[in-house]
Amino acid sequence: MEILKFGGTSIRDANLIKKVTNIVNNKKNKIIAFSAISGVTNLLSVFVQQIQDKNYVKSEKIIRLIEEIHIDIINNLISSTNFKIIAFSKVNSAIKFLNKSINIKLSDKIEKEILAQGELLSAMIIYLYFLEQNIDVAYIPALKFMKTNKDGEPDYKHIRSCLNKEIEKHQDCNMFITNGFICNNHNNITDNLGRGSSDYTATIIGSVLKAKKIEIWTDIDGLRNNDPTCIHNTNPISHLSYNEASELAYFGAKILHPLSIIPVLKTNIPVILKNTFNPMFPGTYISEFTKASGIKGISAKDQITTIKVRSAKMVQAYGVLRKIFNVFEKHQTSVDMVTTSEISVSMTIDNTRHLLKIESELSNIGDVSIERNQSIVCLVGNFEKNKTAIVSKIFNAIEPIPINLISFGASNINISFTVNIKDKIKVLKLLNDRILKNEPCLTLN
């Protein structure tokens, strides 16, 4: 079995959906997960916001826009009246539901049902088109098998058994369509796996079915070796290990959902990032082992806050780190980077929702100083050999830009440091020109 996932930009219009059809037709035995059509989940989430703000005119405008996007695709994609009627009726029911939700008090359940409409419609429209093309295909709704437990994590046992049941209903069929992103939560209420999580859907399915490979089809030639939003001459990375890909995804590379490597971590299932607009290009191959050593990619994450706790009482004391991290656990705030000295501990967070409470509780442990507007720059690669040479190369390259925190040594695949957000682009450029340019063996030009 192969799992394929197509992102919203890959199915943005009828012609692209036809292109996707050619890509999937060349494969045997596959499950294809679709994201919502490009921009639709954003519109739905703005729609929720507008209802909450009682902005009814804007809400109705968004509904019309969502309706137009889907009707336009159906008109250009599906030719037979019968299939068109079914497709239009699916859009109508979704639109009716959205109209109805303007006038009721939004619960978490309805909010999630609203956000689910994009994936429910895209997968259904493409399924109907495949049927019209006489492709042997079955629709297996994600809400019949995708489920999270009370910690919000995939309930693998449930997913495996329900997904297999769904597949068994369609003996002899070797192509299945499903929805990315959406799931049921532990209360059996519609939910989702988080924004941009259709990649995660694909890897969860791949891991429970022990798939041969998972292909994530998007609109770029693979994971870039630097942030393409700031740097022009970036290159796609040919090979990465699971851990390297996770680090790059977590620290800012937008092409892959940061959680999506977790389900395949203890498997040998390759995850391949492919470009729908350039299908012959090999893309980025992510697997358990990494071939080359050296720096493979750089990513950066903005809106980072650094918290420093300093106290002379820390000298030779034990239990201080536990006390500090208890505060973050209590306020459900995850810490990305940590560095310590004998009298101080520095940490970074990206979620500042509970910062005031965290600051006040940490001040019982020591003097707290907070610095906002930081960026984490993260260099990923295989640093097992020549560690010292790599570190000195990096810091020589960016001198004299001031660095606040450095984290290195926790793993052989990541060197991270923080800089002021205003210096970030300069740092990425310097690293690109002075280091990445000289590591061409790692990329496919």
Q: Which two tokens stand for residue 141?
A: 């709704």
Shortest distance, position 7 Cβ to Mg ion, whole Å: 5
Contact 426, 375 (CB under 8 A): no
Runs of H (alpha helix) within 28-107? 40-52, 56-77, 81-102
Shortest distance, position 194 Cβ to ligand ASP, whole Å: 8
Q: How far apart are CA 203 and CA 262, in angstroms?
A: 8
User: What is the number of the residue whose Cβ is closest to Mg ion?
Assistant: 196
**Among Mg ion, ligand ASP, none, partner that 283 touches (CB below 5 to 8 angstroms by kind):** none
**Among Mg ion, ligand ASP, none, partner that 381 touches (CB below 5 to 8 angstroms by kind):** none
Which is nearer to Mg ion, 7 or 263 (by Cβ)? 7
Q: Which of 247, 242, 300, 268 is nearest to 414 (CA)?
A: 247
Residues 382-421 contacting ligand ASP, CB under 6 A? none
Q: How far apart are CA 284 and CA 245, in angstroms?
A: 10
Runs of H (alpha helix) within 189-343? 198-208, 242-250, 320-330
Residue 181 contacts ligand ASP per CB under 6 A: yes
Which is nearer to ligand ASP, 36 or 320 (by Cβ)? 36
# residues near ligand ASP by CB under 6 A: 12
Which is nearer to ligand ASP, 58 or 254 (by Cβ)? 254
Residue 159 contacts ligand ASP per CB under 6 A: no
Residue 35 contacts ligand ASP per CB under 6 A: yes
List 16, 17, 36, 51, residue binding ligand ASP (CB under 6 A): 36
Shortest distance, position 199 Cβ to Mg ion, whole Å: 6
Contact 273, 283 (CB under 8 A): yes
List 2, 3, 9, 41, residue binding ligand ASP (CB under 6 A): 41
Q: Which of 119, 120, 100, 11 is nearest to 47 (CA)?
A: 100
List 148, 185, 198, 275, residue binding ligand ASP (CB under 6 A): 198
Q: Which of 161, 168, 163 is nearest to 179 (CA)?
A: 163
**Among Mg ion, ligand ASP, none, partner that 36 touches (CB below 5 to 8 angstroms by kind):** ligand ASP
Residue 258 contacts ligand ASP per CB under 6 A: no
List residues near Mg ion by CB under 5 A: 7, 196
Shortest distance, position 152 Cβ to ligand ASP, whole Å: 16
Shortest distance, position 254 Cβ to Mg ion, whole Å: 7
Q: How far apart are CA 300 and CA 416, in angstroms?
A: 9
List 4, 20, 47, 118, residue binding ligand ASP (CB under 6 A): 118
Which is nearer to ligand ASP, 214 or 295 (by Cβ)? 214
List 10, 184, 197, 238, residue binding ligand ASP (CB under 6 A): 197
Segment contacting ligand ASP by CB under 6 A, of 22-30, 62-70, 190-198, 328-336? 190-198
Shortest distance, position 420 Cβ to Mg ion, whole Å: 29
Give the C-alpha distances (Å, rounded to integers) separating 143 from 37, 109, 147, 187: 18, 14, 8, 13
Kind of pairing, strands 344-349 and 294-310? antiparallel
Q: How far apart are CA 142 and CA 194, in angstroms?
A: 15
3-state secondary structure 118-164: HHHHHHHHHHHHHHHCCCCCEECCHHHCCEECCCCCECHHHHHHHHH
Q: Which residues bind ligand ASP (CB under 6 A)?
A: 7-8, 35-36, 41, 118, 180-181, 195-198
